[in-house]
Amino acid sequence: MDQYINPLNSRYSSKEMLYIFSPKFKYTTWRKLWYNLALTQQELGIDISKEQLNKLFKHIENIDLNLVEKYEKKFKHEVMAHLYAYADLIGDDARKILHLGVTSAYLMDNTDLIQIKEALLLIKNNLTKLIKTLKEFSIKHKDLATLAYTHLQEAQLTTLGKRSSLWLQSLIFDFEELEFILSNMCFRGVKGTVGSQSSFSELFSSNFKKVKDLDINLAKKMGFDKVYKITSQTYDRKFDSSILNFLSNLSQSAHKITNDIRFMQHLKEIEEHFEEEQIGSSAMPYKRNPIYSERVASLAKFIMSLQASGGFIAATQWLERTLDDSACKRLNTPQAFLAADAILILLNKIFNNIRVNEKIIETHVKIEMPFILTEDILMKATKNGGDRQILHEKIRIYSMQVRESLYSGITANNLIKLILDDASFRLTPKDIEEVLNPNANIGFAPCQVEDFIKEMVNPILKET
Amino acid sequence: MDQYINPLNSRYSSKEMLYIFSPKFKYTTWRKLWYNLALTQQELGIDISKEQLNKLFKHIENIDLNLVEKYEKKFKHEVMAHLYAYADLIGDDARKILHLGVTSAYLMDNTDLIQIKEALLLIKNNLTKLIKTLKEFSIKHKDLATLAYTHLQEAQLTTLGKRSSLWLQSLIFDFEELEFILSNMCFRGVKGTVGSQSSFSELFSSNFKKVKDLDINLAKKMGFDKVYKITSQTYDRKFDSSILNFLSNLSQSAHKITNDIRFMQHLKEIEEHFEEEQIGSSAMPYKRNPIYSERVASLAKFIMSLQASGGFIAATQWLERTLDDSACKRLNTPQAFLAADAILILLNKIFNNIRVNEKIIETHVKIEMPFILTEDILMKATKNGGDRQILHEKIRIYSMQVRESLYSGITANNLIKLILDDASFRLTPKDIEEVLNPNANIGFAPCQVEDFIKEMVNPILKET
Amino acid sequence: MDQYINPLNSRYSSKEMLYIFSPKFKYTTWRKLWYNLALTQQELGIDISKEQLNKLFKHIENIDLNLVEKYEKKFKHEVMAHLYAYADLIGDDARKILHLGVTSAYLMDNTDLIQIKEALLLIKNNLTKLIKTLKEFSIKHKDLATLAYTHLQEAQLTTLGKRSSLWLQSLIFDFEELEFILSNMCFRGVKGTVGSQSSFSELFSSNFKKVKDLDINLAKKMGFDKVYKITSQTYDRKFDSSILNFLSNLSQSAHKITNDIRFMQHLKEIEEHFEEEQIGSSAMPYKRNPIYSERVASLAKFIMSLQASGGFIAATQWLERTLDDSACKRLNTPQAFLAADAILILLNKIFNNIRVNEKIIETHVKIEMPFILTEDILMKATKNGGDRQILHEKIRIYSMQVRESLYSGITANNLIKLILDDASFRLTPKDIEEVLNPNANIGFAPCQVEDFIKEMVNPILKET
Amino acid sequence: MDQYINPLNSRYSSKEMLYIFSPKFKYTTWRKLWYNLALTQQELGIDISKEQLNKLFKHIENIDLNLVEKYEKKFKHEVMAHLYAYADLIGDDARKILHLGVTSAYLMDNTDLIQIKEALLLIKNNLTKLIKTLKEFSIKHKDLATLAYTHLQEAQLTTLGKRSSLWLQSLIFDFEELEFILSNMCFRGVKGTVGSQSSFSELFSSNFKKVKDLDINLAKKMGFDKVYKITSQTYDRKFDSSILNFLSNLSQSAHKITNDIRFMQHLKEIEEHFEEEQIGSSAMPYKRNPIYSERVASLAKFIMSLQASGGFIAATQWLERTLDDSACKRLNTPQAFLAADAILILLNKIFNNIRVNEKIIETHVKIEMPFILTEDILMKATKNGGDRQILHEKIRIYSMQVRESLYSGITANNLIKLILDDASFRLTPKDIEEVLNPNANIGFAPCQVEDFIKEMVNPILKET
């Protein structure tokens, strides 16, 4: 009540993502790192007993925060405090082989990478769901003719499923980037205070092969296929920067998609789900505000803004490491993930409940079709023997009349009637019908959707 | 334990700043806004009784969060929930005149502005303290000759107090901007759903004068001298953007200052205070890491990065308001203030405890003086009748010899000795002494410091 | 033809702004700085003759670029090359007193400030014009009722002049910031290689008063009221950062304004001027694309993005100066000004030629009025004795019917007819007319516009 | 002389990169796009003669800019003007089949992609060169012990080749990203005004297979393996954003690398090449400023700042396309490439000419070794039977004495002597020698370098 409450915690993000960046996740990961270090060292011939290992393993989960706090007050050093608290549990014998050859950065940096990996996998999971939902949406509406807008002006026709395929394509690009990151991701491993692994020189009698084995075997135990071949005290902060790039890219997609939804809801063509009991605007109950889309756009702006901090940190790390990364990293990375998590939850929610007002879409198409297709009408009339020049001017004048009358709200679009009634056009209702058929004017939009989904989306979803 | 913990809450920021952005501050402010609205309406002739006002006033502080939560579950509307919870306390009679003519934005936007104003005043307070500390520091060291660096290469001499005056000047620029913002700051007041104040048209029988009085009188009760003459549903989001600009500017100063400190600590010329019991690097106990300066630089990067979100929001608000500001505003503004608060606390702490190693500074000056002053030495020698061309080449050769010997770590700078020993220079030890006197080479640095403090700093501190 | 051509040069910016950042402006300013330095030194007692001064003055404009280039190839130093080329013109005698006591930064930094000041004044001039135009626009349309949108959904009524007053207000905030910057702006003056003015110590026999006089008198000659009391080798790069903040703020206003225009043009309520002979979309000649507004938004994004570089430079300057500002400064500052210049030209052009389709605005209002005012209708009906609960449900049902029929494009909004025809509402046409009068629903919008212009705009324009 | 001159044109970038973004490259690419469109259409059965194709082909290079300008004045439409100018050359017959079924975006968007691809390949070329140079550098200095710094404080030892391997690794990450982008890159192809390819429906009798063939065959002719399956009027602006991400990432590497160089040059351990005739600082000729590294850092800041504009554009494109991308794209993409080009040229130049002062590096190591290795000395002494507690305190006191004496500039580090002279340590010179051997304290740094180069660098360079 007396402190700032971060809305990502209290309002927007999932328990799963909040857990990944929690103290519990972090500190149990530290103990797993200690345990697996000892285990791997033992496997590589260091004198560590099964009993010692068992003691480490047994106490991974039971973290006594009060005890930790007591030690932290004493040492003013987070890792030391946790080391002592763990040591109290595992006893003097196991304590001897704890933290062998490593420094704080072994725990800090590896845990950062583990958290990021878990967070990426959670993002991947929700992104996959969203891709699946948008695939269904696109297939369902692949033939639904709708006005396409360029410059926010009615242009020609597209289909709703084609438009949503473009949203889907943006997310596919993000998905591909995510897979690229995951497949390149490395564990930091054991590297020492300045990256030279000198503390392991004595431990393994200058046997570099063994140190490399320690690094990669440990990485595998912690869920990584690869380990950085070299680091300074820390892994290259460019990695963190690339993570923020990815989350920003995903946010750009989300911002663009929800902007489009907000326009379409403005046109009443689609509507976010509105719960019965929900109070929208208390003063204006007739309104249907696309508040989830707006929230997505808002969180996207936040993430996009954080992107700069990743680059700034990477660019200003000095020599083997400076600590001007730490406080910022504790703020930008978890929050970018939490906000991205919220965005994906919201987008899934929006598309699972969205209402498409087909009739309204159809009406809008009908009103504009005559304007959009004046060129086609003219071609038809000329083919039937009309004078192009004269008819062109007539169409211009008729169009303006109709536009004005439409704006005055008193009539439907009667441009076609004016043209049919004018004998100089030499057009029959059937001629017009052929031209005005929306399905004849959506081009290859439906085929494109099918093709795109088959070639680009299904492989990702492992569907056919 | 199971959730992300924002380190601004748990580690870096002050209770005062955390309180300003707390639910408690926010919700009691809402009640104050309701109370003062009614009070001002009564003063302007609306039929509101003293009893009704008293009931509102009496229950400003006792917020029953459980009750609020109950209502929020029902209405899914934060303001409505608080309105009902308040109404339960004040009773049916007072309830009738609660929230008269206003909408949610009356509470939300005005509270945002009140929080920002309080936060700015807290920043101002700590910034003033820092300016005072740096003033003392600058005066104390105004004569202390030290190597000036351009391109991070030893250039000529300055004084430590002059250098710190430049840090001070950056903060003075921030202070001036802060005063500019505070003096222009406006209350949002009562403006209605789209800014037209139409709900007050009936309430005050179309009397615009009365509505203006309501706006300004209410503003004064809530601590503001001015009220926006016009708004849409909300005040212009450019204001929020300007706040983030200011906090970014302050961060730029802090980043530059702490970078300089980190260089000087690298040179061992100054040292952040290091507590006796503190564990620095557990593996490298001999190190004195400037961790507070590094933390300042890290938080500064975070704030500078948030700046972009302010502009992005302001630039993409559509027509009378869209809600894609809200979630981002809840994240960027409080956190930028919390981090700036932490920065000022840290900078005050650093400068209150900093250790200046005058002897080391002096040594560094001595080593470089001969190099820096070769031109002056040459002038003196030429004046005494030496051949400039020949001596110039000799100096070049001697300098290189000395530089090499210095790097090999075996001797002090004996350039002067070489010159004195070389009869072609025709220089006496006294000649050299005159040239090499550091105080003769710091130019007007001490005068500048005095002048700057008198003219620019003291007026702000209201000192002389 | 074979090189990148910057479109700010070839397409968007004015000759005036392009000139301010041209080599000609820069190099003649250098000569003015040399001349005025000598002049002021003479006035303060340095032995400089009138003839010497005359020679400097005479050759300010005639810069022989070929000669400069020849010298630059030799020295690889821009300032040296210009110094020699100038010296060749002024002769040996005047040469002796050229560049007395100063370094390259005297020319570079002061010229930067002079360019920025000239550019700010040009911006101020065009911004003032724009404010004037928008003032006229706002007054003209202050009573024109139009739909206000929140969440891009029809909300209540405002007036067009009120909406444009909000645009105007954003620009007023920018104007105030501009005046703040101009009134605080300082000349860098003569400070020496590291800011200690040590070269003037000998020149003025350690007389600090004289050096201060030199600084301020020189500043005045170059058009500045103030001079920095202290600098390092350079003025504080926070100043450049504040300039980019201002230009970003102005861009945020422009982006918001043109977004609104683009929506209104989407609604056909307003239209950018479209020249007769202009080819819009060759494929879609019926379109009226708001291309100038789009260009403004595009340039605004560019400027907003450059803002970060200003902060980055200021934050990472080390000690007395590092050169990692220079290349970036040559790119970000001129281009931010050139783009801002283009934005103001475009906005002035847009508003000087904009077409307001009042009839369309009126139609849109009429269509939505019944929905917007259902609450008022209900109140009237209840007052006349109707049962609120029953009527509320009826209105809901009627509204939905009408909405659907409107979307099908076949009729005008007949909600009112349905209500009048339903006897349970007990409403007469006159009752309805009172409620539906747009002018009764725009609140105090016109008064606000008048008040705002009188209090906030006229003082700036020095109009009444 | 009268206009702003962009320094990327006049100072920093290569002719090759400037040409890629030149009008000549752009407009000949347009003609190639027209020619290859017709050629591919003919191959797919459209009635186009060999003569018509020949005429198109013959006039690809001879662009008459005066003629274009004449037409542009008439139509105010860039593409139209070029189309007419081309048509004048190819004659009436070929004109009939020019631009068949396509719109302006066919030329604009595809050309953007072609320019980006060429620019990426040029970057790749220079980046490969740089990787090669840094590989040689790293191998050469893989054993050279040097002080590692954490927090900019002397930490333990690393080797120069290990440090430069970390720089190299950053560039390898960039290289991998570049390959990822290139391998995913698509041609925009022929998609029509809103992306539906409707104009090709008639041309190819609704045969989607043929339209797909047109798209991919055309792409291949223009040098692309892939074509977007779907687009709106334009390809997804997220692609441009990803390009700016890449260039920003590369800049972050460059900024970090050059920061490190600037520190090392500060320490005199390395030096950028300084040309004999070069005037550094005219006032301070003894200085060796790392100006190329500073320029790299400066350009890097510019690019990193532009990154935000890419995301902003992608996030705010509305529906099938808005034009608020155009002006910004003309500024941010070419300039980011030009600046990145300049950075790679500079880095290649720096590393091809860098001077490593091995002796100075060695001296610095020697001075600090006793401090760094106090722990090892203590261990040895304890092993020999010394009392750890007592000796630890003694070492602390001796260290402080030596540090002070070093700062006073009068002596070498005699800590070892003090220890040897103190019998309580029980250490022989040979004992000390073993501990102090730098090569015994660089850990596995040389092995890491070899391993890293073998596994990560050579595959990229296709070397072994």
Tokens representing B219? 């503003």
pLDDT at D388: 81
Cβ neighbours of C312 in D, within 8 Å: 301, 304-305
Q: Measured between alpha carbons, how far is residue A183 from residues A33, A46, A180, C21 in Å?
A: 22, 32, 5, 48
Which of D298, D305, D334 is nearest residue C306 as measured by Cβ atoms?
A: D305
With an 8 Å Cβ cutoff, are B287 and D150 in contact? yes
Tokens of B343: 């920065």
What residues does each domain of chain D span? 11-96, 106-131+159-271+289-357
| Of D189, D182, D61, nearest in space to D122 by CA | D182
Helices (H), D185-273: 199-203, 208-221, 238-266
Classify A447 as helix, strand or coil. helix
Chains that touch A (3 or more CB pairs under 8 A): B, C, D
How wide is the angle at C-alpha A140 spanned by C-alphas A139 and A145, nearest 5°? Answer: 95
Q: Given a contact as 3+ CB pairs under 8 Å, which chains touch D?
A: A, B, C
Block residue for tokens 């009748």: B385
Q: State what percent of residues in chain B have pLDDT above 90.
A: 77
Tokens of B153: 């290469």
Residue D298 sits at the chain A interface (C-beta within 8 Å):
no
DSSP H or E run through D12:
none
Q: Is D150 on the interface with B (CB under 8 A)?
A: yes
Residue in B8, B80, B294 closest to A324 by CB: B294
Q: What is the pLDDT of residue B132?
A: 98
CB C175 within 8 A of CB C126: no
Instruction: Supply the mean pLDDT for chain C.
Output: 93
Question: What is the C-alpha separation between A239 and A236, in angstroms, rounded?
Answer: 6
Contact (Cβ atoms closer than 8 angstroms) between residue B29 and residue B116: no
- Helices A104-140, A445-452: axis angle to 10 degrees equals 140
Whether B281 sits among the annotated catalytic residues: the reply is yes
pLDDT for the residue B436: 83
Q: Which two tokens stand for residue A325?
A: 């990364």
Is residue D67 helix, strand or coil? helix
B158 DSSP β-pair partners: B146
Q: What pLDDT is stored for residue A343 in this prediction? A: 98
To which CATH superfamily is domain C106-131+159-271+289-357 assigned? Fumarase/aspartase (Central domain) (1.20.200.10)
pLDDT digit string, tens, across residues B198-255:
989 888 989 999 999 999 999 999 999 999 999 999 999 999 999 999 999 999 999 9
* Res C207: pLDDT: 95
* DSSP reduced 3-state for D324: coil
Return the structure tokens found at A104. 């704080």
The amino acid at C186: C
Predicted pLDDT at B461: 96
- Contact of B348 with chain D, judged by CB distance below 8 Å, is answered with no
Q: What tokens were used for D175?
A: 């290289």
Strand partners, C157: C147
Q: Is D29 on the interface with C (CB under 8 A)?
A: no
Q: What is the 3-state secondary structure (H, E, C) of C337-360?
A: HHHHHHHHHHHHHHHHHCEECHHH
d(CA C368, CA C363): 9
CB contacts, 8 Å: A403 with chain C: 268
Distances (CA, A) of B10 to A8, A23, A73, B300: 16, 12, 14, 18
Does A155 lie at the interface with C, CB-CB under 8 angstroms?
Answer: yes
Which strand (E) or helix (H) includes residue B271? strand B270-271
What length does chain D have? Answer: 464
Reported ipTM: the value is 0.95
What CATH homologous superfamily does B11-96 map to? Fumarase/aspartase (N-terminal domain) (1.10.275.10)
State the helix-helix crossing angle for C291-315 and D326-353, rounded to 10 degrees. Answer: 30
φ/ψ of B150, rounded to 5, equals -120, 140
For C108, half-sphere exposure in the C-beta direction (CA atoms, 13 angstrom radius) is 19
So what's the pLDDT on residue B376?
82
Instruction: For Cα atoms D255, C115, C118, give the angle at the middle one, nearest 5 degrees.
Output: 140
Any CB–CB contact under 8 A between C313 and chain D? Answer: yes
The model's pLDDT over C172-222, given as tens digits with 9 standing for 90+, comes to 999 999 999 999 999 999 999 999 999 898 889 899 999 999 999 999 999
Cβ atoms of A409 and C409 closer than 8 Å:
no
Q: Is residue B372 predicted with pLDDT exceeding 90?
A: no
| Chain C contact for D28 (CB, 8 A cutoff) | no
Distance from the Cα of residue A109 to its chain's centroid: 24
Helix (H) or strand (E) holding C391: helix C388-407
- Confidence (pLDDT) at A417: 87
Between chains, do C357 and A262 touch, taking CB under 8 Å as contact? Answer: no
Contact B17, A3 (CB under 8 A): no
* B205: chain C residues, CB-CB within 8 Å: none
Residue A294 in contact with partner chain D when CB distance is under 8 A: no
Strand, coil or helix: C134: helix
* 3-state secondary structure at position A266: helix
Helices and strands of chain D, counted as H and E runs? 20, 4
Residue A96 amino acid letter: K
D187 and D229 Cβ atoms separated by less than 8 Å: no
- The answer to whether B218 touches C150, Cβ cutoff 8 Å, is no
pLDDT at D75: 82
Task: Tell me whether residues A331 and B7 touch, CB distance under 8 A.
Answer: yes
pLDDT at D408: 66
Residue C156 is encoded by which pair of tokens? 């209540």
Task: Report how far residue C11's alpha carbon sits from residue C7's, in angstroms, rounded to the nearest whole number.
Answer: 5
Check whether C455 has a pLDDT greater than 60: yes
Among B248, B239, B235, B237, which residue's Cα sits nearest to residue B325?
B237
Beta bridge partner(s), residue D271: D355
* Residue B100 DSSP SS3: coil
pLDDT given at position C285: 60
Q: Are strands B270-271 and A270-271 parallel, antiparallel or unpaired?
A: unpaired
Band (pLDDT 50/70/90 cuts) for residue B334 is: very high
Q: What digits encode the pLDDT tens for the residues A88-101?
A: 999 999 999 999 99
- CB contacts < 8 A (A, B): 203
Place of tokens 């300098």: B399
pLDDT at D398: 86
Give the active site residue among D281, D305, D326, D424. D281
User: Is the predicted pLDDT of residue B39 greater than 60, yes or no?
Assistant: yes
Q: Decide: helix, strand or coil at residue A271.
A: strand
Helix locations, B222-325, DSSP H: 238-266, 291-315
Residue of C nearest to A295 (CA): C151
Give the C-alpha separation, C450 to B230, whole Å: 11
Nearest to D295 among C7, C23, C327 (CB): C327
Per-residue pLDDT at C88 exceeds 60:
yes
CA distance C236 to B260: 14
Question: Is A281 one of the annotated active-site residues of the chain?
Answer: yes
Span A385-392, mean pLDDT? 84
Q: How confident is the model at residue A415 (pLDDT cuts 50, 70, 90)?
A: confident
Tell me, yes or no, if A80 comes closer than 8 A to chain B by beta carbon.
yes
Residue D62 per-residue DSSP state: -
Task: Give the nearest chain B residue to D409 (CA atoms).
Answer: B412
Residue A279 has a pLDDT of 53
Summarised one tens digit per residue, pLDDT across range C286-343 is 678 999 999 999 999 999 999 999 999 999 999 999 999 999 999 999 999 999 999 9
pLDDT tens for A237-289 read 999 999 999 999 999 999 999 999 999 999 999 999 876 555 555 556 667 89
Does residue A157 contact residue A147 with C-beta atoms inside 8 Å? Answer: yes
Residues B127-166 have pLDDT tens digits of 999 999 999 999 999 999 999 999 999 999 999 999 999 9
* Cβ neighbours of A327 in B, within 8 Å: 7, 12, 295, 298-299, 302
Q: Looking at C281, C305, C326, C424, which residue is catalytic? A: C281
Question: What are the DSSP calls for A397-444, one per residue?
Answer: HHHHHHHHHHHTTSS---HHHHHHH-GGG---HHHHHHHH-GGGGSTT
Chain C residues whose beta carbon lies within 8 Å of the beta carbon of residue A288 = 153
CA gyration radius, chain A:
31
The end-to-end CA distance of chain D, in Å, is 52
Cα separation, A380 vs D420, whole angstroms: 106
DSSP per-residue string spanning C396-420: HHHHHHHHHHHHTTSS---HHHHHH
Q: Can you give the pLDDT at residue D67? A: 93
Nearest CA distance, B2 vs chain C (angstrom): 36
Instruction: Name the band, by pLDDT with cuts 50, 70 and 90, for residue B463.
Output: confident
Cα–Cα distance measured from residue B6 to residue C295, given in angstroms and rounded to the nearest whole number: 41
User: Is A345 in contact with A16 (CB distance < 8 Å)?
Assistant: no
Disruptive mutation site among B269, B286, B295, B366 for chain D (greatest number of D CBs within 10 Å): B286
- Whether residue A279 and residue B24 make contact (CB cut-off 8 A), yes or no, is no
Could A193 and D251 be called an inter-chain contact, meaning their C-beta atoms sit closer than 8 Å? no
A278 has a chain C CB within 8 A of its CB: no
Tens digits of residue pLDDT in B414-426: 888 889 999 999 9
Q: SS in 3 state form for B18-56?
A: HHHCCHHHHHHHHHHHHHHHHHHHHHCCCCCCHHHHHHH
In angstroms, the separation between the Cα of residue C411 and the nearest Cα of chain A is 6
pLDDT at B143: 97
Task: Provide the pLDDT for residue D399.
Answer: 80
Whether residue C289 and residue D12 make contact (CB cut-off 8 A), yes or no, is no
Q: Chunk chain D into consecutive blocks of 10 residues (it has 464) and report each block's average pLDDT, rounded to whole numbers.
A: 94 97 97 98 96 97 92 88 95 94 95 98 98 98 97 95 98 98 98 93 92 98 98 98 98 98 96 67 70 97 98 98 97 98 98 94 89 83 84 82 71 82 91 84 96 97 87
Q: Which of A319, A325, A458 to mutate: most D Cβ within 10 Å?
A: A319
* Nearest-by-Cβ selection for D363 from B266, B374, B409: B409
Residue of higher predicted confidence among A200 and D404:
A200
pLDDT value of residue A396: 77
Nearest to A456 among D169, D192, D229 (CB): D229
Residue C275 is predicted with a pLDDT of 65
**How far is residue D266's CA from residue D147's CA, in Å, rounded to a whole number?**
14
At residue B399, the pLDDT reads 80
Residues of D in contact with A233 (CB under 8 A): 150, 155
Do A305 and B332 make contact, defined as CB atoms within 8 angstroms?
yes
Q: What is the pTM of this model?
A: 0.96
Chain B residue numbers with beta carbons less than 8 Å from the beta carbon of C149 are 318-320
pLDDT, tens digit (0-9, with 9 covering 90-100), for C374-418: 878 888 888 888 888 888 888 878 887 887 777 665 556 788 888
CA distance C18 to chain D (A): 5
What pLDDT band is residue B395 in, cutting at 50, 70 and 90? confident
Using one digit for the tens of pLDDT, what is the confidence trace for B191-200? Answer: 999 999 998 9
- Please tell me which residue of chain D has the smallest CA distance to B263: D152
Three-state DSSP class for residue D407: helix
